[in-house]
Amino acid sequence: MTHPVVRTRFAPSPTGLMHVGNLRTALFEYLIARSMGGQFILRIEDTDQGRLVEGAIDIIYNTLRQVGLRHDEGPDVGGPYGPYVQSERRHVYKPYAEQLIREGHAYRCFCSRERLEQLRERSGTEGGFAGGYDRHCRNLPPHEIDRLLEAQTPHVIRQKMPLTGSTTFVDAVYGSITVENSELEDQVLLKSDGFPTYNFANVIDDHLMAITHVVRGSEYLSSTPKYNQLYEAFGWDVPVYVHLPLILGADGKKLSKRHGSTGYHDLITEGYLPEAIVNAIALLGWCPKDNRELFSLEELCRDFDVTGISKSPSVFDYGKLDWFNAAYIKALDPSAFIERARSFLPASVLGDEQRELLVVDMLKPRISRLTEIPERLRFIDRIEDYPLSLFENKKSKSTLESARVALNALIPVLESLSEWSRSSLHDTLMAQAEPLGMKTGQMLWPLRIAASGLEVTPGGAIEVLFLVGRAESLRRLESGRQRLAQA
Ligand code: GLU
């Protein structure tokens, strides 16, 4: 027997941002397809027109592109099963709903909104009926249906759930699940405006698009028996279900804004790299056989395996995300680092190869987020007031007196320097230590303080002077000297 090609789909509703949870679903769909030589499809589920958010579709495209989840079929790239936007497939669903009516698996419901609301209120207090609907129209006599249709009474089409027995399905992660059919509501399939409900369109499209694996968050687990009843009514093959575990914050509560940013683009704005986000998200519910942690997308495609998905809730840990991010930042080559860090770097650094390389050396091993860069390099463009006591430093044996001596001697030397490069600064300054009778640490300490106003800088005095530049360095050193002279 030949196995059908594995086909997964990411089926987002364009209702806002791409959150960690949506991205995890997309990633796992992608990895399941790629790890099994299959295809990954993007389908936009926009039948709930009231919930659409402008720009949300672009956010979906941008996110998938940035993280490298390339879809084989979708609204923008086309494919043999299109259209891939549900609102453009409106005509597809109605005949299927009517087929179900003819075959006794669905019925027209003419109940008014007011009646349904009353029922819902009552079922809240009295335990009521599955889904809050009393199945009033399920057994309307045919002549009554004809009369209501002739009068063009607005109506929906509902699924006729079996009233007895149970439905069992197997989920690849959660195992075998059984529910009593009496608990399943006669859900609406087609709304009175002719639009399908999300639940109906989802099943029809998964079938028509030959989807073999349905991957989604575990919040859909409870709806799955209803989908299965539809597959059964149509006589279609049920796809493999892969429900993904809940995502929690570090405190064990469902991940939300309270824990930190949960939107992909917010995380990018906070200085995380797409590949670090992908790596962290891949481990939300999936565990490789060897407990490795660092995975590129290619490695994930190779090593991902559905059996490694766990049903226990996974924790999105921002500390861990920082760790991943630091690892990916460290692994960037210099030009890639500059590219990624561009919007965070001061203009005076960009475009100057020597300065760029220095900044790469200084920052790459030390930061865990790109957003730390402006703060760490702030001294280049601006020096804050600093207390004279900074000139005193035990370790380098710097005192106000030694600082005074060093600045007095070094400023003229630096002024006469013909080339303001790292190597000339280094060679010239190092040659001054001996005549000054100082260790280099003692000599360089006041230069760093006067040039940056900071006790801690990325890089030492020479790097600081180089980055601040000749004119501004000399101005700062002179101002330090004057302050020391008056102290
Ligand atoms: N449109 C649904 C959502 O955005 C998709 C659920 C599914 O994958 O079946 O969550």
What pLDDT shows up at residue 74?
Answer: 98
The predicted structure's pLDDT at residue 126? 54
CA of 215 to the centre of ligand 1 (A): 9
pLDDT in tens, 78-101: 999 999 999 999 999 999 999 999
Query: Has residue 379 got a pLDDT over 90?
Result: yes
The CA 216 to ligand 1 mean position distance, Å, reads: 7
Question: Is the sign of the CA dihedral 475, 481, 486, 487 positive or negative?
Answer: positive
Among 44, 45, 203, which residue has the most ligand 1 atoms within 8 Å of its CB, making it the best to mutate?
45
Which band of pLDDT confidence, cut at 50, 70 and 90, is reported for residue 124? low
Helices (H) and strands (E) in the chain — how many of each? 20, 11
Compute the average pLDDT of residues 346-362.
94
Residue 369 has pLDDT above 90, yes or no: yes
pTM of the model: 0.90
Is ligand 1 within 6 A of the CB of residue 263?
A: no
Judged against a pLDDT cut of 70, whether residue 159 lies above it is answered with: yes
The pLDDT of 351-364, averaged and rounded, is 95
Predicted pLDDT at 121? 80
Token reading at 188: 């609406």
Query: In the chain, pLDDT over 70 holds for what percent of residues?
Result: 98
Region 462-487: mean pLDDT is 97
Using pLDDT thresholds of 50, 70 and 90, give the confidence band for residue 8.
Answer: very high
| 216 in contact with ligand 1, CB cutoff 6 A | yes
Q: What is the dihedral of CA 431, 432, 435, 438, to 10 degrees?
A: -110
pLDDT given for residue 127 in this prediction: 53
Contact call for residues 364 and 358 (beta carbons, < 8 A):
no
Return d(Cα 140, Cα 152) in angstroms, integer. 16
Contact 464, 482 (CB under 8 A): no
Q: Name the residue of 85, 195, 198 whose CB sits within 8 Å of the most ligand 1 atoms, as the mutation to test its pocket.
A: 198
**Model confidence over 306-345: pLDDT tens digits?**
999 999 999 999 999 999 999 999 999 999 999 999 999 9
Residue pair 260/333 in contact by the 8 Å Cβ criterion = no
> Which distant-in-sequence residues (6+ apart) come within 8 Å of 131 by Cβ?
184, 185, 186, 187
Q: Catalytic: 254?
A: no
Regarding the beta carbon of 14 and ligand 1, being less than 6 Å apart is answered no
| Rg, C-alpha atoms of the chain | 33
Helices 20-35 and 274-282, interaxial angle, to 10°?
A: 80
3 state DSSP class of 457: coil
pLDDT 10s digits, 237-261: 999 999 999 999 999 999 999 999 9
Specify burial of residue 456 (Cβ count, 10 A radius: 0-12, 13-18, 19+). Answer: exposed
Distance CA 353, CA 437 (A): 35
Looking at residue 299, its amino acid is E
The one catalytic residue in 253, 257, 330, 397 is 257
Contact between 442 and 397 under an 8 Å Cβ cutoff? The reply is yes
Angstrom distance (rounded) from CA 176 to CA 163: 21
Q: What integer is the mean pLDDT of 31-46?
A: 96
What pLDDT, on the 0 to 100 scale, is given for residue 119? 84
Ligand 1 pocket residue status of 45, Cβ below 6 Å: yes
| pLDDT above 80 (res 3) | no
pLDDT digits (tens, 9 = 90+) for 403-437: 999 999 999 999 999 999 999 999 999 999 999 99
Q: What is the pLDDT of residue 51?
A: 87
109 pLDDT more than 70: yes
Instruction: Pick the atom of ligand 1 nearest to 216's CA.
Output: 8
Could you give the CA distance from residue 364 to residue 360 in angstroms, rounded to a whole number?
5
Residue 407: partners with Cβ closer than 8 Å, 6 or more residues away? 446, 447, 450, 477, 480, 481, 484
The C-alpha atoms of residue 192 and residue 119 are separated, in whole angstroms, by 19
Which comes out higher in pLDDT, residue 69 or 128?
Answer: 69
